[in-house]
Amino acid sequence: MSVALSGCAKLNLTVSGNGDVMQVIQGDVLKCDLPYFDICVANIPYQISSPLTFKLLSHRPMFRCAVIMFQREFAMRLVAQPGDTLYCRLGVNTQLLARVSHLLKVGKNNFRPPPKVDSSVVRIEPRKPQPLVNFKEWDGLVRICFNRKNKTLGSIFRQKSVLSILEKNYKTLQALQLSQNGSIEDKETALDVSALGDTGEDLNMEIDDDDEEMEVEDGETKGSEFKDRVLGVLKQGSFEEKRSSKLTQADFMHLLSLFNKAGIHFS
């Protein structure tokens, strides 16, 4: 069965008259419940690039391949590698779930009338099986790290606002574990791919953007025990002097596991 998502009534007339078997769903792709599909080929409104990408990646059963045309800068963020200028949270989250490759550039002059931006066609192949990671935890870590991707992790995790958030999580989870007398791991949360869907490059964890110089000094006693725990994790993995802009998927996975083993969580 082929499936076409469309907002064009003319397509219905064309399909119904040619004898081919095709199901046409007319509506907003972000609001529709998608049926089973194996391959997605799409030229989309660029403003839905991020939510559509993660809606596709959260769809079950997983599809085999998607070939989609995006605005070029968005596409290059999807495929960016550690050390690239455009390497960001969007690319890290997408590449956690899928193999992403750039197929070709489509210049603005290929359209009439020409738009203001160039485009690129990208191939997305979901990883099978999906990685065994709590996606909310993963994205919480990546959000913090990419808030200032060119600063050292030691500097980022010394910020008062970051330490405050992590310590609040730590104390909350400790209290829950004591009250429940066991693990609080939420398996549904761990498997919720849609947790990665908010890919704005802003940091939605109430971290103050003006907090760059507000670091907890080594001599401060208040909160120093928890700060030492956090910095100890970074030192254990030799991450203190590393920068998010250079970390690989394996690096982020290792760092998250070290924090979790120390009882430090990001959701």
**Residues 65 and 151 reside in one and the same domain:** no
Is 43 within any annotated ligand binding site?
yes
Read off the pLDDT of residues 10-62 as tens digits, 9 standing for 90 and up: 555 555 555 566 778 888 999 999 999 999 999 999 999 999 999 999 999 99
Question: Per the domain annotation, does 29 fall within a domain?
Answer: yes
Choose one of 111, 126, 141: the last residue of a domain: 126
**Residues 44 and 79 reside in one and the same domain:** yes
The fraction of the chain above a pLDDT of 90, given in percent, is 67
Distances (CA, A) of 241 to 1, 79, 227, 258: 53, 25, 16, 16
**Residues 141 and 238 reside in one and the same domain:** yes
Which CATH number covers residue 138?
1.10.8.480
**Residues 118 and 139 reside in one and the same domain:** no
**Residues 93 and 174 reside in one and the same domain:** no
Q: What is the CA radius of gyration of the chain?
A: 22
- Residue 182 scores a pLDDT above 70: no
**Residues 67 and 144 reside in one and the same domain:** no
Q: Which amino acid is at 251?
A: D
Per DSSP, the three-state class of 257 is helix
C-beta separation of 140 from 170 below 8 A: no
Walk across the sheet containing 98-106 and list its strands.
39-43, 65-71, 119-126, 98-106
Which CATH number covers residue 33?
3.40.50.150
Per DSSP, the three-state class of 83 is coil
pLDDT at site 188? 47
**Residues 136 and 55 reside in one and the same domain:** no
Domain count within the chain: 2
| d(C-alpha 215, C-alpha 211), whole Å | 8
Distances (CA, A) of 204 to 42, 210, 227, 252: 30, 14, 22, 19
Strand pairing class (22-26; 2-6) = parallel
Is 1 within any annotated ligand binding site?
yes
Q: Which domain holds residue 76?
A: 2-126
**Residues 114 and 239 reside in one and the same domain:** no
If one compares 185 and 134, the residue with the highest pLDDT of the two is 134
C-beta separation of 46 from 71 below 8 A: yes
C-beta separation of 133 from 96 below 8 A: yes
pLDDT at site 12? 57
Choose one of 106, 126, 146: the last residue of a domain: 126
**Residues 241 and 116 reside in one and the same domain:** no
**Residues 41 and 154 reside in one and the same domain:** no
**Residues 7 and 84 reside in one and the same domain:** yes
**Residues 262 and 144 reside in one and the same domain:** yes
Contacts 24+ apart (CB under 8 A), 172-179: 173/263, 173/265, 174/263
The CB density around residue 81, as the number of other CB atoms within 10 Å, is 10
